[in-house]
Structure 1
Amino acid sequence: MKYLALVYYDENIIKQMTGDEWTSLNRECLACVDGLQQRGHYLDGSALQPVDTATTVRVRDGRTTTTDGPFAETKEQLAGFYMLEARDLNEAIRLAEKIPPARLGSIEIRPLRDITPFGEEAPRDDRPWSDRRM
């Protein structure tokens, strides 16, 4: 099963790092990716530019608006992602706890779901949305 591991941390902590601390963290992240790749768990991933480079797009009533910055003000900002292959949520958690920025912020793990192509019938699931596990 595929899981998206979203990396969050407070950018102010990063801004206070020395060049050596930043380089060390990046080296740890690269080593983590290498280890995940060797074990067949790493599918894709990337770091993101700081939130001050973000643009939020909304479409309401056919009109598009853009806003500088992220959707919401939070203590932690989305910094990057890892696309992981794991047997189940427990394995995804064990993989995510090894992602170095977890020490600085948090890793949100979300299972991916397939979107049924147009014209194909999706399996019927009458359970309430909150009860579904994809």
Structure 2
Amino acid sequence: MTTKLNLKRSIEIKLNRIRVDLASRADFYRHNFKEFTDPSCPCGYQQQTKSHLLLDCPLSNGAREVFTQNLKELPSFNYNNFATLTKASKIKIMLFGDCKLSDECNKEITNLSANFIDKII
């Protein structure tokens, strides 16, 4: 789907890294350091996970607010329904879309997510 989004290569790489759980500092550097033992986030949270990065990290609040506002403005997307979902379901929609939504809506959500990820990673 990313090829249809016309993303810059660097943004596409970041999107795909987070999709396969290689976006945290510990995971990203794992191939270089066999004993990289600090999984913490720069914000001080104990573990820099995909969920933490996308939904909770206070260092991403500004970018997350812009992303959230952009989602709310999508005409074919029900943000109120999205807000009630579990964290896992939100992340799945942000990174892969939702089969219940149109291809165009999924494309817009993934594009917004990719640009959000580019700002926080």
Q: What TM-score comes out, normalization by structure 1 length?
A: 0.31
The structure whose residues are more often strand, as a share, is: 1
Structure having greater relative contact order (Cα 8 Å, sep ≥ 6):
1
The structure whose residues are more often helix, as a share, is: 2
Q: Which has the larger radius of gyration?
A: 1
Q: What TM-score comes out, normalization by structure 2 length?
A: 0.34
